[in-house]
Chain A
Amino acid sequence: MTTAGRTAPGPTALARRDPTVVLGTLLVVSLLLLVPVDPWTPGALLVAAVAAARAGGVPWRTLLRGAATFGPFAVSVLAVNLVTRPGVPVAHVAGLTVTDVGALVGAGLAVRTLLVGTLAVVVASSLDPVRLVTSLHQRVGLTSRAAAALLAGHRVLEQLPARWVAVRQAQAARLPGPRPRRPGRLPASPRLLGRAAFTLLVVTLRQAQQMAVALETRGVGSGPRTVHRPVPLGPGDGVLAATALGVVLLVGLVTWRLGLLETWGTVGR
């Protein structure tokens, strides 16, 4: 989050943590989530993640955006697994057989999808691009050229929506015929959209090329760089990583003790 005068930490608790630690923790948690295939373990973690996110200042809108983005994918994962896994038939739907293993694994993978998606959206919304790149430079030795390229790429992407509208307006201005019935409504025929997409690609590539030259003339890669505002690594970062990993292991332990935890090695036996 960027605030007046600086790329300062944003309002969420996560935004005040070191971005490399946050990303590393997310990566490890995602790898650990590959183990369970039951819905109970990722379900409990999803509840915990939403509660933690709300406590940390993440708005409901962000969480719902994650659900809306990854929900359809989760539903498709569930649907495919319901009718393609071997196991004991529990229902017949439209000529397809739903199995118990399919229902269990499908639900597990669907909830896992929602969980990872929610975590990703929360992390992405909390990361400031400059702090992220600075942190990656400090912690994992991201080169100054790569850092500059990432930030320039972010800026190009930031401008993309406005440029897309501008290109479509520019091309709509070429159309013959009477005035549009609904002012501001741009033509959306696949052919025109395809032409607009090509133009957008060319225009964006040209801007990227100009920015690359601008970065060269700014001395990028001319020697060791310094950092204006380094990202501090503090005890809070360790607490974050330890808490996140601890909660995942604790929930896994509880579901195992309750007999609910299923892995690829146990499911269907």
Chain B
Amino acid sequence: MIEATGLRVRWPHTADDVLAGVDLRVDAGERVLLLGTSGSGKSTLLRALAGVVPQQVDASTWGDVRVAGHRVLSPTAPGAPAVPTTTTAVLARDVGTLTQDPWAQLCLPTVEDEVASGLEHRGVPRAQIGRRVREALLAVGAAHLRGRRTAELSGGEGQRVALATVLAARPRVLLLDEPTALLDPAAATAVAHALRRAATGRATLLVEHRLDEQGADEQGADEPARRGTDEARSDGGATDGQDAAAGLPGRVVVLGPAGRVLADGPTADVLRDLAHDLAALGTWLPWWAELAAARVRDLADLPAVAPARAPDDAPVLLQSRDLVVRRGDRTAVAGASLDVRAGRVTAVVGLNGSGKSSLLLALAGLLPAEGVVRGARPALVLQRPEQQLLARTVRDEVAWGPRRARLPDADARTDAALAAHGLTGLAGADPFRLSGGQQRRLAVAAVTVGDHEVVLADEPTFGQDRATWRTCARALRGLADAGRGVVLVTHDVRLVAEVADDVLVLRDGRVLAHGPVDAVLRAGALPRAGLPLPPAVRAALADGRPVAAVLGALAARVGEHAVAGVPA
């Protein structure tokens, strides 16, 4: 169903191939997981198979590609560049594509029109459209959304509608590019299950970071509260790879940094045998493979030392009392009290729509709120870094804050921040032309270069591979260890467990729990708020030692540097 031979792709004005001779064959009914570090060409491969590269996104291509019986790319002569031979739109009659951002895929005002539009444009007879729309929405658990406006959907709902739009057309090939990247854990698990059901009988190629959620049971996604403390207390030790990989596609293909296939085989075998190499590449692994990468059977085998952290009576830098935030007719936050202390990281967690971002904006003074907010003006790193850009070069971007504050050492600070975030080589580049990961580093550099005592960050790790995630976690912890107060808004429970000192749990705008991370985790407050604990955190809790110490020791053993405070 998918047959690529010697596929090479090179972006304009670059000397190296992003894909350097990929051979891939996927048969009908086969599900394949595509793993690789950032920049290894995973998305490019999917886009080339869909015809988007080079038809809508300019690139030079070589090789021979056939998908669902269509000749997608053909060489003009042996060894010569390949040209597209089927338009993307025609190919779309048999190929369904889903990307990570629902807001970039939903194009019509209502859900029913959205799902129907894919059928209309593929010429499906009118008499069949209504039934197929209903069936597709039912298949992804979104039948209740049929009458909704797309603008009012949450991220998880939007992604399910986007998936229904793809499935309604009954494509023979599914190309899925991190379809759960922007979703909270419950929504991610629900979408993963919808995808698994949808893959039956189709050739599916899936790029995905969140492998634990792919393998999680659906009941858990739908009833996270029920799992509660039972999960927190369960033994999360290593299981047999074959069983644990049951929820994942049966075959995995690994792309290396040079754009070549490094491994191709049964998922359980590849993840078990190459676990350490995959971790070194910076890819996420399912929990059991992470243990295999650490070459331990159980977390108890790891020595762990509690990280040195600032005390819980450190000076308060920012304080809120009984904070109420209203957005239109809705009460987004209903009475949150919070102390942000020097040297400590406070995580604010909850599902999408629980009021986390509203609380953050109110703490930053960017939303009107009732109640009290006292203390310094915080710096804020937002979820979409491109929205914060103010200058035309990376250097000016970092220097913007210090210059505006008339700091005498603005240039020296700028140089130091550029160096600290690996941006010196990009100092003259246009910020808008950076990659997503580079823009995120730039946003952190630009926001933290000033004298703000408190730094707020909104979903700082969403959609990141393991290596970038680790860099981001280390940077946030480093800010606190340097004496600043840090507030993270996130639904990344692993980040909370490794980096935060305190956690505030929100559900429907109300504070469900607030206290030291380990105590709140052990009390089962996160599952009650709809956030199931990832297996690594469950296992660390079951271990009994401080969670951050255990997970830091695991990270160190896997071959990475631990988050600050944990010996590597």
Residues of A within 8 A of B (CB): 2-7, 129-130, 144, 148, 151-152, 154-155, 158-159, 166-167, 169-180, 182-184, 186, 195, 199, 202-203, 206-207, 210-230
Contacts and interface: CB of A to CB of B under 8 A. Distances in A.
A152 to B, nearest CB: 4
A3 B169 CA distance: 25
Contacts of A174: 379, 388, 390, 400-401, 446-447
Interface string B359-400: 001101111110001011101101010111110000000001
A65 to B, nearest CB: 20
A5 B120 CA distance: 17
B230 to A, nearest CB: 39
Contacts, number: 204
Nearest to A152: B107
B553 interface: no
B180 interface: no
Interface string B103-125: 11111111011001111111111
Given A215-B107, A217-B52, A220-B121, 10 more contacts: A5-B146, A155-B151, A174-B446, A179-B375, A183-B362, A202-B432, A213-B52, A217-B50, A218-B107, A219-B169
A213 B55 CA distance: 10
A218 B452 CA distance: 47
Minimum-distance CB pairs A-B, first 7: A184-B368, A173-B380, A210-B104, A176-B405, A5-B147, A4-B147, A222-B89
Contact of A203 (B130, B373, B380, B386): B386
A207 B126 contact: no
A174 B396 CA distance: 13
B451 interface: yes
Interface in B445-466: 446-447, 450-452
A6 B147 contact: yes
B354 interface: no
Contact of A217 (B97, B116, B123, B367): B97
Interface string B51-63: 1100111000000
Contacts of A7: 109-110, 112-113
18 contacts: A155-B108, A155-B150, A155-B151, A159-B151, A174-B379, A176-B404, A184-B369, A199-B389, A203-B384, A206-B386, A210-B99, A211-B107, A214-B105, A215-B107, A217-B97, A218-B165, A227-B120, A228-B113
A173 B456 CA distance: 10
Given A173-B364, A199-B386, A217 B121 contact: no
Nearest to A184: B368
Nearest to A224: B123
**Interface size class, chain B:** 35 or more
A170 B124 contact: no
A176 B365 contact: no
A220 B169 CA distance: 13
Given A159-B151, A176-B450, A222-B92, A213 B56 contact: yes
B121 A219 contact: yes
Contacts of B404: 175-176
Most chain B beta carbons < 10 A, residue from A207, A216, A230? A216
Between B87, B110, B379, the greatest number of chain A beta carbons within 10 A of the residue's beta carbon is seen for B110
A207 B117 contact: no
A208 to B, nearest CB: 9
Nearest to B377: A179
Given A5-B112, A130-B108, A179-B377, A221 B366 contact: no
Contacts of B55: 216
Contacts of B169: 218-219
A148 to B, nearest CB: 7
A228 B121 contact: no
B101 interface: yes
A217 B88 contact: yes
A171 B118 contact: no
Residue in B112, B116, B121, B382 with the greatest tally of chain A CB atoms within 10 Å: B121
B80 interface: no
B233 interface: no
B126 A176 contact: no
B89 A183 contact: no
Contacts of B126: 226-228, 230
Contact of B56 (A177, A195, A216): A216
A158 B109 contact: yes
B90 interface: yes
Contacts of A182: 368
B197 interface: no
A92 to B, nearest CB: 52
Nearest to B108: A151
B366 A214 contact: no
B486 to A, nearest CB: 15
B321 interface: no
A222 B362 contact: no
A3 B113 CA distance: 12
B226 interface: no
A48 B451 CA distance: 65
A2 B149 CA distance: 8
B195 interface: no
B121 A218 contact: yes
Contacts of B432: 202
B361 A169 contact: yes
Given A173-B382, A214-B107, A227-B120, A222 B87 contact: yes
B387 A167 contact: yes
Given A155-B108, A170-B387, A226-B125, A177 B377 contact: yes
A218 B368 CA distance: 42
B389 A226 contact: no
Nearest to A221: B89
A203 B387 contact: yes
Given A2-B149, A174-B400, A155 B118 contact: no
A62 B235 CA distance: 63
Contact of A155 (B89, B109, B401): B109
B437 to A, nearest CB: 16
Interface in B502-549: none
B366 A172 contact: yes
B254 interface: no
A153 to B, nearest CB: 9
Nearest to B127: A226
B129 interface: yes
Interface in B155-200: 165, 169
Contacts of B367: 169, 183-184
A183 B368 contact: yes
B15 to A, nearest CB: 25
Contact of B124 (A148, A177, A180, A226): A226
Contacts of B365: 179-180, 183-184
A156 to B, nearest CB: 9
A154 B389 contact: no
Contacts of B133: 228
Nearest to B98: A217
Nearest to B113: A130
A218 B92 contact: yes
A230 to B, nearest CB: 8
A263 B361 CA distance: 59
B401 A176 contact: yes
Nearest to B432: A202
